[in-house]
Amino acid sequence: MSKIKKILLVTVPALALVLASASLASAHGPFGGWMEKSGDIADHFAHQAEMLGLSVDQVKNAWAEGQTIQDLMAEYGIDEDAFRAKMQAERHAQMEARLAEMVSAGVITQAQADTRLAWMAERAAGGDFGPGQGFGGPHGGRGQQVGD
């Protein structure tokens, strides 16, 4: 085997490994992505604590123990209907703000925004929050684990 073939047999696979590693590192950050999102997780804990009327440490401890939002509500005597109403009001305010931005940007008309808000209010009144509308954002709902 020639010297050039030997060099290529060693160099090409090593280069491929380096390039693959670089692409993974850039896609997920140097710690696989979880470290970069720790601020988001801290915000999530803070939001859950605020909505439940608990401290962030209480929410973090419950998360560490694998408790659900319903577990916390039962433990601290939080009324589920009042909590649900609070969540609905927050969701409605967020949607109003998002739709107002869309109207301002010319993406939709004010009439379309009003129709969408009415449709959402009708669904929420019937208890239909659709996918992703439970506590915890896109994966929320009954039995949602704290912090997830």
Does residue 69 carry a pLDDT above 50? yes
Average of per-residue pLDDT values in the chain: 74
Mean pLDDT of 79-92: 89
The CA radius of gyration of the chain, in Å to the nearest whole number, is 24
- 82 in Cβ contact with 88 (< 8 Å): no
pLDDT of the residue at 125: 75
pLDDT value of residue 107: 95
Rounded to an integer, what distance in angstroms lies between the CA atom of residue 73 and that of residue 87?
A: 14
- With tokens 């950050």, the residue in question is 29
- How far apart are the C-alpha atoms of 67 and 147, rounded to whole Å? 9
- Position 141, amino acid: G
Q: What mean pLDDT is predicted for residues 79-103?
A: 91
* pTM for the structure as a whole: 0.54
CA dihedral angle for residue 60, residue 65, residue 69, residue 71, rounded to 10 degrees: -130
Say which residue, 36 or 6, is predicted with more confidence. 6
Per-domain residue ranges of the chain: 1-36, 39-139
